[in-house]
Amino acid sequence: MAEIVLMPKLSDTMTEGVVAEWHKKVGDKVESGDLLAEIESDKATMEFESFQEGVLLHIGIEAGATAPVDSILAILGDEGEDVTAILEEAKKKPAESDKTEATPKADAPVAPKTPVAPTPIPAPVESSAPKTASSAPAVLNDGKIVASPLARKLAEEKNIPLSQVPGSGDGGRIVKRDIENFIPGGVVNTSESFYEEGLNSMRKVIGQRLSESKFSAPHFYLTQSIDMDNAMVARKAIIEAKGTKVSFNDMVLKATAKALKKHPGVNCSFLGDRVRYNDHVHIGVAMAVENGLLVPVVRFADQKSLQDISAEVKDYSVRAKDNKLTPDDWAGSTFTVSNLGMFGIESFTSIINSPDAAIMAIGGIKQVPVVKNNEIVPGNIMKVTLSCDHRAVDGAVGAAFLLTFKQILENPVLMYEL
């Protein structure tokens, strides 16, 4: 008997998926556990194994096409079996499907009410400016070249003969852009070019989820400057003693975990009609990947050593770049850390990763003059900015957390306090 295989829901935020590649074709024999297709969710591309067995009778979503979760992905059955009746029956249920999709879970993005058509990736497009430069400047009957006063002034300053400049203005008139774009002995390119790419599933959900967070959660921001001199000395000593190359980000995560344990008012989640205060500390670590952003979670981070946190984050980083993370890897954060310091960013603000009630943005360490013991001396300062959801976290609560975080990083021995 024929069995329907539905588009799977590979993450709690996934509302639609893209079939990246089929590993079976119509007519192929499929065993339970066989790799059927690769599905691109809002987080990553994952291999989808068949739980049924039989002959692949019908492919409902072609490679490269997008479709909502629970759409007919494929139909398996006996060789030669007619699936027309099954497909006709499926077409009769759009109203029921719409009703289901109109009431999503509270913590998931609203799914589209109708199946999304495949989004082709347009080929690079090139458009020309309305007016292109003529091969020679316009010349009046008296032999004078037609050019704007500003173009003449620029040409004189740059010592450019107007007779060599093609004009792109009305009637070949030389204008400012012609002088600015002029290449002696070369061809002036006045065409405009661009290319466009369709949004993949990850980018769509990033845009949707962050827009929901930014426009629904009343954000407020707290910025703190941290003296990293002691942290730099401690990091060097740890590397020499343990032989483990821990990063400043690893130290930030460890200090964050310790501070969150002392301040459960920040380690919380806003759930619409209630606030959940978490005893466990699960820190999401924002990671940039080729198509967007992933946030794998270091679970029970307060109970892990600095070396354990370092090893786990490195593993996540490798698997994120290879699209090998699973839904379990990015689920269940209670707080998020986003670090752009390695790109030379001094400070920035992050949008809260709902339902978390806070996220901390980490800037780079910069050497600046500081006052110590009434003297101006070189110092290494790192700025961090805490974004809080005011529905769950008050300013004083966020400030107290930042103060503890600062104390731990400025006195790294506190990371190892029981």
In terms of Cβ atoms closer than 10 Å to its own Cβ (0-12, 13-18, 19+), residue 69 is: middle
Asked about 58 being catalytic, the answer comes back as no
Q: Which residues contact 296 (CB under 8 A, 6 or more apart)?
A: 284, 285, 287, 316, 320, 325, 329, 330
What is the rounded distance in angstroms from the CA atom of residue 412 to the CA atom of residue 235? 9
Please pick, among 23, 219, 280, 390, the residue that the annotation labels catalytic.
Answer: 390
Q: Which residues contact 265 (CB under 8 A, 6 or more apart)?
A: 277, 393, 394, 397, 401
Buried b (16+ CB within 10 A) or exposed e, 198-231: eebbbebbbebbbebbeeebebeebebbbbbbeb
Pairing label, strands 192-194, 125-127: antiparallel
Chain centroid to Cα 22, Å, comes to: 26
Catalytic residue numbers? 390
